[in-house]
Amino acid sequence: MNGQPDECFILIKAQPHRSSKYFETVCCAGVGRDNKWRRQYPVPFRILQDSQKFGRWSWITYRFVKSDGDPRIESQKVIPESLVVGDKIRSSERSNFLQPLIRASFADADSRRESLCLIRPLDLELTAIEKSDEEIRSEEQKHQILADQLSMFDKTAEPMKTCAMRFVVNWKDQDGKPRSHECDDWETSAAYNRFERDYGRTQAIEILKRKYEEEYFKAGLALGFSTHSRRNAEFGSQNQWLLVGLIRLDQSNQTSFLL
């Protein structure tokens, strides 16, 4: 099999998006044993074998090649059939291992020429915005087209469930600067869909707000960001940072990381 071997544990899974070349793909990112970021794109997540479908904190091994169209140093074009999922990193090890990757602000990350970063917010508010009927119909049509394409590889492929809400996070970085980002974290949308199915729309929003604004924030919350694939320093423009992960990352307890 071609490509270079590598491994990391996964921190970020953005929502699936349509790609004219790769059908439905997911941008993922994780951290290797060398404490450096890896960005895996494109990952045809929903047509991977069940045994290959990884979650947050899972170690994965894989082979990759560099993408001709993505000069960001962290980016890797994964060879899907090479992907193997291992154990999850223990919860007691996560914070200390990731602490060196925490940044105070985007300016901090920009000064290091990074295109992925974690920032602990000083405060945070999650707002759910209901999508219009037209938006939902448009998304459902796109999901159906993607499912039809995916069925060439998996006859059981179903359209991905449309999330009726867009989520906006208003927060402050460690320099006290107020920020606002639309959330593209797949886990957030998937959690809302589960809660809505079980409890209804109003209670689902309340549960999600408590989860992030209270439970995660008090225990330790990190926001995961990636630069836009085209609007970034490697293309000679100012970095546009996208919110791709809301991650519970408890404050460091000084436990050593075991390799």
Domain locations in the chain as residue ranges: 4-95, 119-248
Contact in structure between 47 and 151 (CB atoms under 8 Å): no
Give 4-95's CATH code, choosing from 1.10.3720.10, 3.40.50.10190, 2.40.50.730, 2.30.110.10: 2.40.50.730
Q: What is the pLDDT of residue 232?
A: 94
Round to whole Å and give the CA distance between 81 and 62. Answer: 8
Q: Is the pLDDT of residue 55 over 90?
A: yes
Beta strands in 20-113 (DSSP E): 23-31, 37-43, 58-65, 75-78, 84-88, 102-103
Q: Is the pLDDT of residue 145 over 80?
A: no
pLDDT confidence bin for 23, thresholds 50/70/90: low
Contact in structure between 181 and 168 (CB atoms under 8 Å): yes
Looking at the chain, the whole-number percentage of residues with pLDDT higher than 90 is 74
Q: Is the pLDDT of residue 22 over 60?
A: no
pTM confidence score = 0.90
Q: Is the pLDDT of residue 18 over 80?
A: no
Give the type of residue at 19. Answer: S
Contact in structure between 31 and 98 (CB atoms under 8 Å): yes
Q: Is the pLDDT of residue 175 over 80?
A: yes
